Amino acid sequence: MPLFLDNSGNAYFNILNNYLFRTSYWGKYTEEVSAPIFEQMASNIMIPWRDYVPKLRNLGSEFLDNMYKIGRLRTTSKIISIILSDTDNDILQWSAQNIKEFAQLSSHKGWKVIVFTNNTNALYGQNVLTVEYNYRNILQAIKDSWVVLSNDIDWLLISIMISDAKIISTHVDNQYGLFKNAEFISADNDIFTNRNLLPVDAFGICEGL
């Protein structure tokens, strides 16, 4: 396990070494690692796992505070965050029209849909609060979200780590599987998956919560 030292003598573990695929010291004999992604990271830290999940410090709340201040959200709003990354592995497979359809259904229930995206113009509409993709704002929103959806599995895993939000997703079977990763870190999030998740399916899940 490689260690790195900075100029102040602080040591850092490279938890992404032998991650997903394991090789010998010389980079030979590649084999896939099937364990949950969180378990792989914990193993690479090389210390006993004691159900400790790192917590984000000084995350702040200025993004939502401002949304409340300018009237885009109410403090009683049930927030549904949809996070759209520019990823090559889009697990959600929703078009702009799909998102607008889901937001329209949600608006009838008084739920507020926030969409974080680099393509805000494509999602302009009165039922969607569209926000530029920004890591800090996304993390702040996740912590106060009722439900989180994303086209990027990484954001769903982060949501499990830092929030109590309900997670709705297409089904993922591999090392990124939501159920086995949540089980490994003893997360209590309600997780709902569907092989072919349509907007009406996601709405129906929310309606049953």
Query: Which run of H or E residues covers position 67?
Result: helix 62-69
Domains of the chain, each with CATH number or no CATH = 3-45 (no CATH), 62-207 (3.40.50.2000)
Look up residue 30 and give its two tokens.
């590649």
Look up residue 109 and give its two tokens.
């229930």
Q: Is 171 exposed, middle or buried (0-12, 13-18, 19+ CB in 10 A)?
A: middle
61, pLDDT greater than 80: yes
Look up residue 41 and give its two tokens.
């990271």
3-state SS class at 114: strand
Q: State the average pLDDT over residues 163-184.
A: 95
Look up residue 13 and give its two tokens.
């573990």
Task: Compute how many other C-beta atoms are within 10 angstroms of the C-beta atom of residue 45.
Answer: 13
Whole-model pTM: value is 0.88
pLDDT band at residue 110 under the 50/70/90 scheme: very high
pLDDT band at residue 43 under the 50/70/90 scheme: confident
* Mean pLDDT, the chain, whole residue set: 90
Most confident of 48-52, 57-61, 177-181: 177-181
Q: DSSP 3-state helix, strand, coil percentages of the chain (rounded to 5)? A: 35, 20, 50
pLDDT, residue 125, reads 78
Q: State the average pLDDT over residues 69-90.
A: 95
79 within 8 A of 73, measured Cβ to Cβ: yes
